[in-house]
């Protein structure tokens, strides 16, 4: 029986980001900025509610 092709994994992904050394640091910055944005939105909501 023909075995299904396994999906490629991300292991071969070796490209470095231009800043912060590793992609996980970039992702952390993006998510942190998003969290700060949500917190600031929440504070605006609290001020007027």
Partner 1 sequence: MSLLDWFVMTGTLAAIVLYGVYKTRQVNNVESYLMGDRDLKWWTIGLSVMATQASAITFLSTPGQAYNDGLGFAQFYFGLPIAMVVLCVFVLPIYYRLKVYTAYEYLEGRFDLRVRTLTAILFLIQRGLAAGITIYAPAIILSTILEWSLSLTILLIGLVVIFYTVVGGTKAVSVTQKQQMIVILLGMFAAGVVVVMELPADIGLGDAIGVAGHLGKLNIVDLEFDLNDRYNIWSALLGGTFLFLSYFGTDQSQVQRYLSGKSLTESRLGLLFNGIFKVPMQFLVLMVGILVFVFFLFQPPPVHFNSANLDKLRNSEYGTELTTLEEDYARINERNQAATLTMVEALRSEDELAITEARTAVEATLEERASVARSVDGLITAYDAELITEDRDYVFITFVINYLPVGLVGLLLAVIFSAAMSSTSSELNALATTSVIDIYRRSLVPGRDDDHYFAASKWLTILWGLIALGFAAVANLFDNLIQAVNIIGSLFYGVILGVFAVAFFFKHVGGKAVFRAAIVGQSFVALTFVANWVEVIDLAYLWLNLIGCAITIAVAVVLETTQNRGLLSGEGR
Q: Is residue 7 within the footprint of partner 1 (CB under 8 A)? A: yes
**Taking CB under 8 A as the rule, does residue 1 contact partner 1?**
yes
Residue 28 in contact with residue 19, Cβ under 8 Å?
no
Binding residues for partner 1, total number by CB under 8 A: 30
C-alpha distances (whole Å) from 2 to each of 5, 6, 7 are 9, 12, 15
Tell me which of 22, 25, 31, 36 binds partner 1, using CB under 8 A: 31
Please report whether residue 22 would count as binding partner 1 according to CB under 8 A.
Answer: no
CA-to-CA distance for 35 and 19, rounded, in angstroms?
A: 21
**Residue 20 interacting with partner 1 (CB under 8 A):** no
């Amino acid at each position: 029986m023909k075995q299904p092709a396994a999906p490629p994994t991300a292991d071969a992904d070796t490209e470095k980001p231009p800043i912060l050394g590793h992609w996980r640091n970039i992702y952390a910055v993006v998510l942190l900025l998003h969290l700060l944005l949500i917190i600031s939105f929440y504070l605006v909501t609290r001020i007027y509610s």
